[in-house]
Amino acid sequence: MNSAELTLPATDDAQERYFQELIDRDSRIEPRDWMPAEYRTSLIRQISQHGHSEIIGMQPEANWITRAPSLKRKAILMAKVQDEAGHGLYLYSAAQTLGISRDEMAEQLIAGKARYSSIFNYPALTWADMGAIGWLVDGAAICNQVPLCRASYGPYARAMVRICKEESFHQRQGFEILLELSQGTAAQKEMAQDAVNRWYWPSLMMFGPPDDESPNSAQSMAWKIKRFSNDDLRQRFVDMVVPQAEVLGLTLPDPELAWNEDRGHYDMGEIDWAEFHEVLAGRGPCNAQRMQRRRDAHEDGRWVREAAAAYAEKQAAASLKAAS
Amino acid sequence: MNDGAPAHPDGHGHVDVAKVTLSEEIVDRASVASTDVAEYATWLGDDALILAQQLGWWISRAPELEEDIALGNIALDLIGHARSFLHYAGTATGRSEDDLAYFRDEHEFRSVHLVEQPNGDFAHTIVRQLLMSLYLFELYRELAGSADATLAAVAGKAEKEVDYHRDHASQWILRLALGTEESRERLLVALSDLWPYVEELFRDEPLHDVLAGIAVRPSGLREAFDRVLTDLFAEAELARPRTPTTSGGGRRGQHSEYLGYLLTEMQVLARRHPGATW
Ligand SMILES: [Fe+2]
Ligand SMILES: [Fe+2]
């Protein structure tokens, strides 16, 4: 039951006031509630991009499933990548409640019209990348996503609750991979350090541009879709991983990292935003490869989906006939 | 109304990484396999391992997200079975499941040729999965009554999972057979490509005699296998393929050319760091 059913404001103005009231009261907006058109579009954009990121994000790790160095690690990695497919499904379903179809979203993704998180345009070159991705990339995702569990749009918030639970396992298994490597042979430790060196900065970029250059943030925060600024979340992430890196016995590739007593936070060096914009513009190391793989899976699977649809239709027709 | 949290698409339940642990039956019992039982456990473990390795490739490449998840689930179940059987096999010689998976050469593997056949298109993967699942289901059902308590325990758990696998594959056989012209055509090709490898599954070996009461004699499973297949084929309006049988030989270490490549990929990292833990 949602509150929109209790009172039925007649005019657009009244509806808008009522919508804002719900937001201000920290109530949830549900699919059948009235909402401003821009709220709807901005949510569709954010949720579908988030879904696409889960789907494309399967690829760097899927790259190591067949080569995982122990059966236990292979099983954990399979389960993890499979979880990400599940996250994609939850998010696509949440976006569907706003009036976009799954086919539309799939088409937008393979046509290159939709964005996904740029982090997945970096290559997973060694086994240690499975550790660094879990620890840093899933770790950054958690920092971004935990506040989304309180996002104003109900279906999105509920999807995020389920996703965040699984993401914390992902981060833990990544951390364990790195710990095992850093306590292993010299070659393993070197592999771990190399992976952390390559994934650290890209993971900081996952929080998006600095606050003063973030065009969509202000409105998202007013609508309580977003609750903390990019820079706040980034700081939170850095504060979390610095002590964890110490436990791992690995260093983070930022010479300016230092505890700032006054602020009660770690100071950090300047992010290379030029690189960020390059990757965002489609010129990252794996943009083309990731898109190609998604297109291939989509095209190669077309005849299968068509068969399933045709079969379902025939079954429905048959049971209709049987009933009449 | 859709609240953004879909029921799990195939009803198999969602797996998360925290649940991936070695079957407790094996860990708790700490029993040691005899040389013969270890050899038999290796046969079972290798079939499951090679099939899991094949299915793992599909994750991120499946025709739809639901299949990424379903094939991933099946692969996870199979790798669980493989670990249990190989762990048990290793107790005979003081080797771990990973020693057996990563440090044996091609001729030391005991998998049947059917699991070694390439993924091909989705129809090939589904037909291979159907044939193996029907066979494994009958096998595990019998093995659950084995005089060897460890084999019986692993098989008892695996039977329930493989029951889901055969349901999943059967559903797809119906969809592909009765879906579109193209899907039916592709299914027929896959059936005739893979049918030659069925015979090997049901061939008795001398070890089955040695392990009477412990191992399951595969020839005895053929009738039940055929019965299920006949029903499914009738519903799917399919005829049994006529392609001739191949010689097989997997149980004696004679494999298809495909296995070498599969093992090369699977073992490369572990072998580059012998003695390392992960
Ligand atoms: Fe995820
Ligand atoms: Fe994740």
Q: Indicate the SS3 state at residue B95.
A: coil
Digit-coded pLDDT (tens) for B210-240: 999 999 999 999 999 999 999 999 999 999 9
pLDDT for A168 beyond 50:
yes
- Residue A7 binned pLDDT confidence (cut-offs 50, 70, 90): low
**Total domains, chain A:** 1
> Average pLDDT for residues A33-57, to the nearest whole number?
95
User: Which pair of structure tokens corresponds to residue A285?
Assistant: 């190391």
Compute the distance between CA of residue B133 and CA of residue A98 in angstroms, rounded to an integer: 40
- Residue B115: strand pairing partners: none
**Burial (CB count <10 Å: 0-12, 13-18, 19+), residue A58:** buried
ipTM of the complex: 0.92
Helix axis angle, B181-194 relative to B122-143, nearest 10°?
50
Q: Is B259 on the interface with A (CB under 8 A)?
A: no
- Residue A245 binned pLDDT confidence (cut-offs 50, 70, 90): very high
Q: With respect to residue A227, please indicate whether it lies within any of the assigned structural domains.
A: yes
Predicted confidence at residue B56, as pLDDT, reads 97
Provide the CATH number for the domain around residue A49: 1.20.1260.10
Compute the distance between CA of residue B40 and CA of residue B44 in angstroms, rounded to an integer: 7
Digit-coded pLDDT (tens) for B142-157: 999 999 999 999 999 9
Q: With respect to residue A238, please indicate whether it lies within any of the assigned structural domains.
A: yes
User: Which pair of structure tokens corresponds to residue B40?
Assistant: 């038999």
Q: What is the per-residue DSSP string for B29-80?
A: H-----HHHHHHHHHHHHHHHHHHHHHHTTTTTSSSHHHHHHHHHHHHHHHH
The torsion angles phi and psi of A29, rounded to 5 degrees, stand at -90, 130
Q: With respect to residue A8, please indicate whether it lies within any of the assigned structural domains.
A: no
Q: Å from B206 to nearest chain A CA?
A: 30
Give the nearest chain B residue to A293 (CA atoms). Answer: B61
Predicted confidence at residue A225, as pLDDT, reads 81
Q: With respect to residue A89, please indicate whether it lies within any of the assigned structural domains.
A: yes
Cβ pair A169:B277 closer than 8 A: no
Name all domains of chain B by residue range, CATH numbers in brackets: 25-272 (1.20.1260.10)
Digit-coded pLDDT (tens) for A173-232: 999 999 999 999 999 999 999 999 999 999 999 999 998 887 667 788 888 888 889 999
Digit-coded pLDDT (tens) for A63-74: 999 999 999 999
Predicted confidence at residue A223, as pLDDT, reads 83
Q: Give which of B78, B49, B69, B57 is closest to B9, Cα–Cα.
A: B69
Cβ pair A67:B269 closer than 8 A: yes
Tell me the H-state helices in chain B: 24-29, 35-56, 65-90, 97-102, 113-116, 122-143, 149-178, 181-194, 198-201, 206-210, 222-235, 258-272
- The overall average pLDDT reported for chain B is 92
Compute the distance between CA of residue B4 and CA of residue A155 in angstroms, rounded to an integer: 5
Compute the distance between CA of residue A136 and CA of residue A128 in angstroms, rounded to an integer: 12
Predicted confidence at residue A47, as pLDDT, reads 96
Compute the distance between CA of residue A229 and CA of residue A249 in angstroms, rounded to an integer: 31
Digit-coded pLDDT (tens) for A74-115: 999 999 999 999 999 999 999 999 999 999 999 999 999 999
Predicted confidence at residue B4, as pLDDT, reads 41
pLDDT for A118 beyond 70:
yes
Q: Is B1 on the interface with A (CB under 8 A)?
A: yes
How many residues make up chain A in this entry?
324
Q: With respect to residue A295, please indicate whether it lies within any of the assigned structural domains.
A: no
Predicted confidence at residue B51, as pLDDT, reads 98
Q: Which of A155, A166, A310 is closest, CB to CB, to B180?
A: A310
Show the domain range for A153.
13-284
Cβ pair B69:A86 closer than 8 A: yes
Q: With respect to residue A304, please indicate whether it lies within any of the assigned structural domains.
A: no
- The overall average pLDDT reported for chain A is 92
pLDDT for B123 beyond 80:
yes
Query: How many Cβ atoms from other residues are within 10 Å of residue A309's Cβ?
Result: 13
Q: With respect to residue A187, please indicate whether it lies within any of the assigned structural domains.
A: yes
Q: Indicate the SS3 state at residue A269.
A: coil
Query: Running DSSP on this structure, what letter comes out for residue B109?
Result: -
Q: Give which of B163, B162, B88, B176 is closest to B127, Cα–Cα.
A: B176
Query: Running DSSP on this structure, what letter comes out for residue B246?
Result: P
For residue A140, how far is its CA from the centre of ligand 2 (angstroms)?
10
pLDDT for B5 beyond 90:
no
pLDDT for B13 beyond 70:
no
Q: With respect to residue A109, please indicate whether it lies within any of the assigned structural domains.
A: yes
Question: pTM for the whole thing?
Answer: 0.93
Single-letter code of the amino acid located at B220? G
Compute the distance between CA of residue A102 and CA of residue A18 in angstroms, rounded to an integer: 30
